[in-house]
Amino acid sequence: MRGECKTPGGKLIAVEYQLQNERMHQIRISGDFFVHPDAQSREVLHRLASAIYDRHNDLTLQQWHHVLESALPWNVELLGTSTRALAVALCRARGDTVEIEQFSQHEEQFNSLEVAEKLTVWPSQSWHLIPEIALPPAMNVALDEVLCQQVASGKRPATLRFWRWTEQAVILGRCQSVLNEVDVEVAREKDIQLVRRMTGGGAMFLQPHGAITYSLYLPEALLKGMSVRQSYQICEAWVIEGLRKLGVDAYHAPLNDIACSMGKIGGAAQARRNSVVLHHTTMAYEMDPGEMVRVLRIGREKLSDKPAIASAAKRVSPLARQTGLPREAIVSSLFEHFRNQFGGTVSSLWPDEMQVAHELVMKKYGNDVWTYEIA
């Protein structure tokens, strides 16, 4: 049995279970939501599943909400979803018709003057700026973990890195189910890599020519006094300004999207480790909508709060169509815009960082145990 709940203005959460002797077993919770602190994602999913395990599935919505809220650790926040949304999904799994209220987070946004004020401390950092080089998908996500460690240990200052891909891939969010999000047979047939990243959020189908991706590795002090939701807006402010200089009417769309009047441009995700914030964003440069919908399973519930959108492909507005510029020209423009605004020294990936990343690929990011942790 399976139920889903897409909170309007928020994220999707899904639950699956089997009934054995009228009790719930084999619980699986997944979705494109975020857990904060993200390091507790696995524990939080386990605790919520344990709260459901071996119960009868006849609890009311309010009873489920109480059970789940009690199971959620007091110091953990679900971003983009809620225990109430999971309760709705549980009720829907048995066939009930229940709705979820609008998710309100817009009041946490900064105005333009507040954004400028929050960014005044960024030029004080001795930034390292790493231009993109083509790397396999698993290496790119492994380097996020490596560079977080480098900044945390003081071996690097605050750092910006642009990525490039050598192969097409589906990059899964930390809490997503492989089988719910990907047609694995199509991916295998078309030699599309499956990789799970360390951050939450939704699955992305990426082709080497079709995406622009960057990561920021920041001391948490640069985001002091902000909520996690507000930190997304601040970390995206510079690239939104850079896109506007290219003629794109870009803006921040809470929680974690960059959008324009023509549709979504890209999405971001965050992780926090040892007082360092990883913020990475992927933007669409070109798209192959037919290929995307063949490999990704984009359910009706996920699109439920997006009226007048006939398909997932129409939600996205690639930068090639908006700017008419080559991909490399956009990347170069954004790179220089960041350097002009905040300063910094152009750097490269160091041999020891590449070695540690290779080791992480072998034992984690290129390993099916990690990739299929939520099968």
Over residues 167-215, the pLDDT tens digits come to: 999 999 999 999 999 999 999 999 999 999 999 999 999 999 999 999 9
Q: What is the DSSP letter of 84?
A: H
Average pLDDT over residues 110-121: 96
Average pLDDT over residues 69-88: 95
pLDDT classification of 308: cutoffs 50, 70, 90: very low
- Model pLDDT, residue 298: 80
The span from the CA of 104 to the CA of 121, in Å, is 29
pLDDT at 310 over 80: no
pLDDT classification of 57: cutoffs 50, 70, 90: very high
pLDDT classification of 305: cutoffs 50, 70, 90: low
Measured in degrees and rounded to the nearest 5, phi and psi for residue 319 equal -70, -25
Q: Where are the alpha helices (DSSP H) in the chain?
A: 41-52, 61-71, 83-93, 112-118, 137-152, 178-181, 184-189, 228-245, 289-295, 319-323, 327-342, 351-360, 368-371
pLDDT classification of 40: cutoffs 50, 70, 90: very high
Measured in degrees and rounded to the nearest 5, phi and psi for residue 301 equal -65, -35
- For 368, the token pair is 């099916």
CA atoms within 13 A on the CB side of 324: 1
The whole-model pTM stands at 0.93
- For 126, the token pair is 């001795």
Is-contact 280 213, C-beta < 8 A? yes
